[in-house]
């Protein structure tokens, strides 16, 4: 991001002017959350001056600690700040819809042609690049999020809890929040408290919550009623609605919670296909959490009965609805309280501890992905209360290992962009397939 802006915010734009900017952001928002947040900062704070620096950073801190994709929710908050609910809907939808349409088209192609040798070779390179990208994201997020020794310890404990002991992610979040709140209580002083902004009428908040709960839940209940509770569409609706509530920390945290259940519990996709989906999401505009649409399409395409393509599209739509409708609930109900949260030290401390725990969960994702990219055979073993993921050392995929190392060199030493790394590694994967 740029240096602190010292200029005052410009007058609010017209709705049409803002709509054009949201559309531009939606079709050019490559590079994952970090790139998207930086791009919005440049446009909204530096160029347009529609938000001042403090407002933008406070909103970013709030959105980072919500369940779901922080960049999409930040765009929704900015739209709400400028033009109320209509502005928030416009900004949020335009952030998601372009990428969702691209992912849907790529999911269809993947379902039809994913088993082709050239496509498989392409994704060998893409998977290796994605592994390097996830490692880079882990290091970046750790540096930004872990501010002292206690937060590093919380992150380490969260990793051990989920990787070694299979503690459910919501339990980790609640425990970290409780530790942070207690820590904030013990450290708060009179200088930490500042006058809180004016109170928000409770009735208005409850009305907003009730409305968006209905928008989120009722269509999914209709799916369950129409297809039955055991149908894959109903399972997708329930699974991704639950995911929308408990997955703090953005797309990588969602993947940490989702990937193993999708692969090992429901058997909707293989581990390699999960990495392929993340690779597709990395190469398209919009939030990385659109990988859930890829999962929903393939799950319903393969298990929905009826016409596979129709069921796949329905699976994609159900997954998108369950993933993104809650985001509007969180923002429209919580946005009026952003300024108040910034004045509450105990709550800030609790949310900081949750962020530290999320870093540990992202480390779990990184290790899990690395094992499945670099080794062709990985087994799960239980030893008492321990649950171990053990690779067969003789099954090392030399090509994937070499491409992952090359991708890391491009990212860390050459400072290449994500699109460049993915494109180069994918091309090398195809080339090696032709030569070997």
DSSP 286-335: S-GGGHHHHHHHHHHHHHS-S-HHHHHHHHHHHHHHHHHHHHHHHHHHHG
Write down the pTM of the prediction.
0.72
Give me Rg for the CA atoms of the chain: 22
d(CA 235, CA 240): 8
CA dihedral angle for residue 185, residue 189, residue 192, residue 197, rounded to 10 degrees: 80
Give the pLDDT confidence score for residue 4 in this predicted structure.
42
User: Please, are residues 99 and 29 in contact by the beta-carbon 8 Å criterion?
Assistant: yes
Which token pair is 148?
């002292």
Instruction: State residue 1's pLDDT score.
Output: 40
Residues 6+ apart with CB under 8 A from 411: 132, 133, 136, 421
From 268, 275, 272, 271, select the one nearest 297 (Cα to Cα).
268
Query: Is 45 in a helix, a strand, or coil?
Result: helix
Answer whether 169's CB lies under 8 Å from 246's CB. yes
| Contacts of 110 by beta carbon, 8 Å cutoff, 6+ apart | 119, 276, 280, 294, 298
Output the CA torsion 345→243→25→111 (10° steps): 160
> Do the Cβ atoms of 339 and 58 come closer than 8 Å?
yes
pLDDT beneath 70: ranges in the chain: 1-10, 30-32, 34-35, 115-116, 186-199, 247-257, 339, 341-343
What integer pLDDT is reported at residue 20 of this predicted model?
95
pLDDT at position 82, please?
A: 94
The alpha-helical segments, DSSP class H, found in 335-377 are: 338-341, 345-374
Q: Which two tokens stand for residue 386?
A: 């321990």
d(CA 192, CA 343): 8
The first and second tokens of residue 42, run together, are: 């440049």
pLDDT of 250 = 58
């Amino acid at each position: 991001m740029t240096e602190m802006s010292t200029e005052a915010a410009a007058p609010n734009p017209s709705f049409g002017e803002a709509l054009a900017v949201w559309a531009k952001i939606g079709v050019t928002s490559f590079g994952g959350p970090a790139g998207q947040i930086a791009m919005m900062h440049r446009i909204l704070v530096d160029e347009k001056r529609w938000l001042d620096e403090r407002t933008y950073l406070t909103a970013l801190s709030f959105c980072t600690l919500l369940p779901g994709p922080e960049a999409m929710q930040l765009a929704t908050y900015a739209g709400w700040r400028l033009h109320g609910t209509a502005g928030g809907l416009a900004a949020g939808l335009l952030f998601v819809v372009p990428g969702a349409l691209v992912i849907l088209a790529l999911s269809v192609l993947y379902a039809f042609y994913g088993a082709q040798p050239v496509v498989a070779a392409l994704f060998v390179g893409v998977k290796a690049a994605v592994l390097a990208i996830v490692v880079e994201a882990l290091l970046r997020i750790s540096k930004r999020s872990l501010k002292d020794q206690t937060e590093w310890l919380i992150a380490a404990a969260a990793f051990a809890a989920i990787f070694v002991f299979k503690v459910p992610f919501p339990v980790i979040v609640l425990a970290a929040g409780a530790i942070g709140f207690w820590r904030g209580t013990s450290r708060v002083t009179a200088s930490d408290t500042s006058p809180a902004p004016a109170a928000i009428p409770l009735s208005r908040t409850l009305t907003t919550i009730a409305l968006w709960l209905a928008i989120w839940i009722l269509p999914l209940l209709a799916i369950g009623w129409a297809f039955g509770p055991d149908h894959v569409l109903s399972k997708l609706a329930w699974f991704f609605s639950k995911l929308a509530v408990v997955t703090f920390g953005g797309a990588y945290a969602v993947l940490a919670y989702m990937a193993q259940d999708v692969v090992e519990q429901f058997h909707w996709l293989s581990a390699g296909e999960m990495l392929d989906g993340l690779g597709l999401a990395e190469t398209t505009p919009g939030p990385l959490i659109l990988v859930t649409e890829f999962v929903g399409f393939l799950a319903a395409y393969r298990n929905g009965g009826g016409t596979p393509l129709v069921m796949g599209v329905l699976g994609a739509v159900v997954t998108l609805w369950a993933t993104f409708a809650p985001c509007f609930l969180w923002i429209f109900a919580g946005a009026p309280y952003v300024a108040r949260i910034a004045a509450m030290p105990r709550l800030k401390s609790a949310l900081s501890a949750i962020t530290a725990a999320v870093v540990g969960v992202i480390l779990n994702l990184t290790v899990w992905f690395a094992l499945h990219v670099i080794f062709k055979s990985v087994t799960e073993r239980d030893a008492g209360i321990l649950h171990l993921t053990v690779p067969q050392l003789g099954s090392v995929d030399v090509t994937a290992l070499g491409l992952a190392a090359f991708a890391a060199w491009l990212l860390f030493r050459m400072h290449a962009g994500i699109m460049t790394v993915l494109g180069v590694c994918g091309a090398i994967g195809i080339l090696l397939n032709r030569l070997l």
